[in-house]
Amino acid sequence: MTGLTDLTIAEAAAGLAKRDFSAVELAQAHIAAVAAARALNAFIVETAEGALVAASEADSRCLAGRARGALDGVPVAIKDLFCTEGVQTTAGSRILKGFVPPYESTVTANLKRAGAVSVGKTNLDEFAMGSANITSAFGPVKNPWGLGSGRDLVPGGSSGGSAAAVAAGLCLGATGTDTGGSIRQPASFCGIVGLKPTYGRCSRWGIVAFASSLDQAGPMTRTVQDAGLMLSAMAGHDPKDSTSAPMACPDFAAAAAQPARGLRIGIPKEYRLDGMPAEIDALWRTAETWFRDQGCEVVEVSLPHTQYALPTYYIIAPAEASSNLARYDGVRYGLRVPGETLDEMYRNTRAEGFGAEVRRRILIGTYVLSAGYYDAYYLKAQQVRALIARDFTDAFGQVDVILAPTAPSPAFAIGEKMDDPIAMYLNDVFTVPASLAGLPAMSVPAGLSAGGLPLGLQVIGRAFDEETVIRAGAAIERAAAFDTRPSRVGRR
């Protein structure tokens, strides 16, 4: 089945509809690719048997002429933060190793309803806490762009397993979650498209929580159109999630075909950081020309509270994490390490079950929520968050979307920043502001670094205006014509 793992979702759907190949053949090609690429460590759980059953059912629907979902027969991967009924869900943590949920997350249930075929659960930073996919209890994920280079590169995080799987041709699309950049930054590092929808666009029900006011599910794909197709299948109002927006979902994929002409593109002056690599700044400026050439107006805007975004995020997110992770106590599910007393069992379980980065964030979060510090840290951070959101509201009074780099560097080597948490946190400098404001944002591959690694550009839009984000992202995609792929293991 040569070439089946190189298809886009749109191409695969068209081929399946014309019966150029079967869903089982498509699944088999990707299952073989997953098996051949285990050195990347992109998957925690492989679900080959279930994928073949789902693919066979998709073929039966096709042969019977029954109504088919938009992703019917399309192989996808699921970040191991989404609960999947009957399939282990670990959140990349030892404390949940062996946990098999008795229920399905709303997003993955929606994908199943659309006919998507899951080939497995992808690796991630533990509880989605990380920017390099090196904190997983199941080992680090390797970026496929590092194959043959003589050094192992990070794929970005926390959705690094999903990004690596899409980039390496192990699936046609994958789910990710984005709390402060965990879809967009790994998409940039791996040369794929990553879309963080507006907070509330996709249900959080059944997703293992990190920071509840920030977490949002989204698609990771090879093209902007595919991101729209996958988002349409994932999104929708869910009464089980009180933060799910009761809004109808438009045809997101159709926006990718709309010309960019007439759009006003904002360039935030505060994002031009001292020490930014020249190649990233040059790509950003080149993108301004791409938009002008397509009939857009480029306007400088100001987001004056940008400098406070990272410290604000690293107060709010750990605070919410410390609360959400209190449920992992060894009593009801997951790891249990015995102790002579109940309190000792709690301590032993959490000390052994949580990795160093998760423990660090729990401690930070507990501290900023503690008596005497709540007003000074957490309350103040929430006030600054409101100012950051207001900056975006003011900017969108002048422009339709905002253009910025996705990450301050290309992918770096595994181990390069492990001993410096602050350096690791700085990877999120361009992605965190949109997360704090709850806005949709997309990373689109736009070029290569001097070292031959992918660089992404980010489009940020108004709340619940993913269509314009997709429209602008497609304009970058057309102009950049980025079609470079990493070396493939077990290419088929």
pLDDT in tens, 85-112: 999 999 999 999 889 999 999 999 999 9
The Cα 89–Cα 86 span in angstroms is 9
What is the arithmetic mean of pLDDT over 356-383?
Answer: 94
Active site residue 487: no
Mean pLDDT computed over every residue of the chain? 95
What is the arithmetic mean of pLDDT over 52-65?
Answer: 94
Which pLDDT score is estimated for 147?
A: 84
Which pLDDT score is estimated for 488?
A: 59
Q: What is the pLDDT of residues 304-321, one digit of tens each?
A: 999 999 999 999 999 999
Where do runs of H (alpha helix) occur along 325-465?
342-353, 356-369, 380-395, 421-425, 432-437
The CATH code that applies to domain 4-258+441-480 is 3.90.1300.10
Residue 366, token pair as written in the block:
């507990």
Which pLDDT score is estimated for 419?
A: 67
Q: DSSP secondary-structure letter at 410?
A: S
DSSP string, 58-69: HHHHHHHT----
| CB-count burial class (<10 Å; 0-12, 13-18, 19+) for 371 | exposed
Q: Could you give the C-alpha distances from 135 to 93, 139, 156, 310, 359, in angstroms and in order? A: 9, 7, 11, 20, 11
The Cα 139–Cα 56 span in angstroms is 33
Active site residue 18: no
pLDDT at 18 over 90: yes
pLDDT at 422 over 90: no
Phi (first) and psi of residue 458, to 5 degrees: -115, 135
Cis peptide leading into 370, omega within 30 of 0?
no
pLDDT at 265 over 60: yes
The Cα 287–Cα 20 span in angstroms is 38
Angle, CA of 164, 166 and 168, to the nearest 5°: 65
Query: Residue 490's pLDDT band (boundaries 50, 70, 90)?
Result: very low
Can you state the angle between helices 356-369 and 309-324, rounded to 10 degrees? 100
Active-site pick, 105, 136, 182, 232: 182
| CB-count burial class (<10 Å; 0-12, 13-18, 19+) for 270 | middle
pLDDT at 492 over 60: no
Q: How many CB atoms lie within 10 A of CB 347?
A: 15
Which pLDDT score is estimated for 360?
A: 95
Q: DSSP secondary-structure letter at 244?
A: S
The Cα 127–Cα 125 span in angstroms is 6
Active-site pick, 136, 158, 162, 443: 158
**Chain-centre distance for alpha carbon 66:** 33
SS in 3 state form for 285-333?
Answer: HHHHHHHHHCCCEEEEECCCCHHHHHHHHHHHHHHHHHHHHHHCCCCCC
Which pLDDT score is estimated for 251?
A: 95
The Cα 71–Cα 73 span in angstroms is 6
> For the chain, how many residues are written?
492
Q: What is the pLDDT of residues 154-194, one digit of tens each?
A: 999 999 999 999 999 999 999 999 999 999 999 999 999 99
Amino acid identity at 481: A
Where do runs of H (alpha helix) occur along 65-174?
106-113, 160-167
Residue 400, token pair as written in the block:
């339709």
Place of tokens 């510090």: 373
Active site residue 79: yes
pLDDT at 424 over 80: no
Domain ranges of the chain: 4-258+441-480
% pLDDT > 70, the chain: 98
pLDDT at 277 over 80: yes
Cβ atoms of residues 449 and 180 within 8 Å: no
Pairwise pLDDT comparison (424 vs 113), residue with the higher score: 113
Which pLDDT score is estimated for 275?
A: 81
Cβ atoms of residues 305 and 391 within 8 Å: yes
Q: What is the pLDDT of residues 203-229, one digit of tens each?
A: 999 999 999 999 999 999 999 999 999
Cβ atoms of residues 459 and 469 within 8 Å: yes
Q: Which residues contact 57 (CB under 8 A, 6 or more apart)?
A: none
